[in-house]
């Protein structure tokens, strides 16, 4: 039995922030209904990996859900929306406020139908400021948080290909939804939970802003080197691999010095703390780079592990799929999907609970796969459903 069994969620989300939030709720037992237009949400078809065109991120973010297609702009569609909301606990969406109002998904409209409803919305910039009407994807949060200005090559800022602002917003939104459910259980009151890409990215880069504000400095872009400690970098190995090492604190630095045969650095005042060592990053990373140059990745990792130093090998995507720890831990669950060459490796619920663990019960739905089933649940007869289909309402 899932901890959220009996909780019903309407998911109007697209791409990542809202859909991954509702996917986590679905993993924990919630009944999540993805509502999308008759031609499918735009996110369904990005980065296609199946015969029917579904993308990899879609398969990840929409497992354990059912799919209803609906033209909600019609009077009949609006009535279906009203019935769905009347039986729901949570509505999740990521669209600007004007779009929410046009779709009847703004908080005032929703609570007029169901007073204790919880609305969870995700936007790019948050509501109430001069940028609130702008649209934006993950990269907007990254580049406006100050983080991208601090990363990349000296002459070229580089944003991160992994959409961390999107997935981070999904997780903060999930936390907010759970707090709202807890509040509702205690008071009977619903509420509006808001998440946004920019504050999520600001949360993740907050230390950079504090450093700038208090010390008046911005450290330069340093490729893969550490932003506050050294040695810290990706080092090339003899067999053309790469290994990451991150040294912080004096005990760890001394263990590293012993490993590379530089005990002479122990008491040198130029390396007395992390800030001073960071200022000499080029020198310390050069020492480590030379030490790695005539060793294989396996040899380097064995030596670093024996010295109890925080290191990791760089894995390719194929390496990850074959990694023995990833396999032993079951981090990737193989789930069949129509039209794929093999079962799809989906990341498990991103946390583990001893009593009520999350579970991937079903694959992501085909477009409109559960439309008839859902309409029947809210009171539509077979003839009515056929008419709605004929009139292209669903």
Residue of 84, 89, 105, 114 lying closest to 376 (CA atoms): 84
Residue 357 contacts residue 349 (beta carbons within 8 Å): yes
Sign of the alpha-carbon dihedral angle for 362, 364, 366, 370: positive
> Does the annotation count 166 as an active-site position?
yes
Residues whose CB is less than 8 angstroms from the CB of residue 82 and which lie 6 or more positions away in sequence, other chains included: 104, 113
d(CA 12, CA 284): 51
Contacts of 362 (CB under 8 A, 6+ apart): 63, 64, 65
User: HSE (CB half, 13 Å, CA atoms) of 51?
Assistant: 6
How far is the first Cα of the chain from the last one, in angstroms, to the nearest whole number? 32
Catalytic residue, candidates 166, 213, 267, 319? 166
Cβ-contact 372, 394 below 8 angstroms? no
CB 12 within 8 A of CB 93: yes
Could you give the residue numbers annotated as active site?
166
């Amino acid at each position: 039995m899932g901890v959220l069994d009996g909780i019903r969620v309407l998911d109007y989300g697209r791409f990542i922030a809202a859909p991954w939030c509702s996917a986590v709720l679905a993993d924990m037992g919630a009944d999540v209904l993805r509502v999308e237009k008759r031609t499918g949400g735009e996110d369904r078809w990005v980065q296609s990996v199946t015969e029917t065109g579904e993308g990899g991120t879609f398969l990840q973010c929409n497992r354990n859900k059912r799919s209803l297609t609906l033209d909600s702009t019609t009077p009949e569609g609006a009535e279906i929306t009203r019935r769905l909301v009347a039986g729901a606990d949570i509505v999740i969406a990521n669209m600007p406020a004007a779009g929410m109002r046009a779709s009847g998904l703004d908080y005032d409209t929703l609570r007029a139908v169901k007073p204790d409803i919880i609305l969870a919305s995700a936007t790019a910039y948050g509501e109430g400021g001069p940028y609130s009407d702008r649209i934006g994807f993950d990269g907007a949060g990254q580049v406006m948080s100050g983080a991208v200005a601090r990363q990349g090559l000296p002459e070229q800022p580089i944003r991160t290909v992994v959409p961390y602002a999107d997935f981070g917003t999904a997780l903060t939104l999930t936390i907010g939804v759970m707090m709202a459910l807890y509040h509702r259980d205690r008071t009977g009151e619903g509420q509006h939970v808001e998440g946004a890409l920019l504050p999520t990215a600001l949360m993740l880069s907050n230390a950079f802003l504090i450093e700038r504000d208090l010390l008046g400095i911005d450290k330069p872009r340093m490729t893969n080197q550490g932003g506050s400690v050294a040695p810290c970098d990706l080092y090339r190995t003899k067999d053309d691999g790469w290994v990451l090492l991150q040294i912080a604190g004096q005990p760890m630095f001394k263990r590293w010095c012993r490993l590379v045969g530089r005990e002479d650095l122990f008491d040198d005042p130029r390396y007395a703390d992390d800030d001073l060592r960071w200022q000499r990053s080029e020198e310390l990373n050069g020492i480590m780079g030379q030490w790695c140059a005539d060793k294989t990745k396996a040899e380097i990792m064995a030596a670093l592990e024996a010295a109890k130093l925080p290191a990791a090998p760089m894995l390719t995507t194929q390496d990850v799929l074959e990694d023995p720890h990833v396999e032993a831990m079951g981090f990737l669950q193989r789930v069949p999907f129509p039209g794929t060459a093999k079962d799809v490796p989906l990341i498990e619920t991103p946390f583990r609970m001893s009593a009520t663990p999350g579970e991937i019960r079903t694959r992501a739905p085909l477009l409109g796969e559960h439309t008839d089933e859902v309409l029947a649940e809210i009171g539509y007869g077979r003839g009515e459903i056929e008419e709605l289909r004929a009139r292209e309402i669903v």
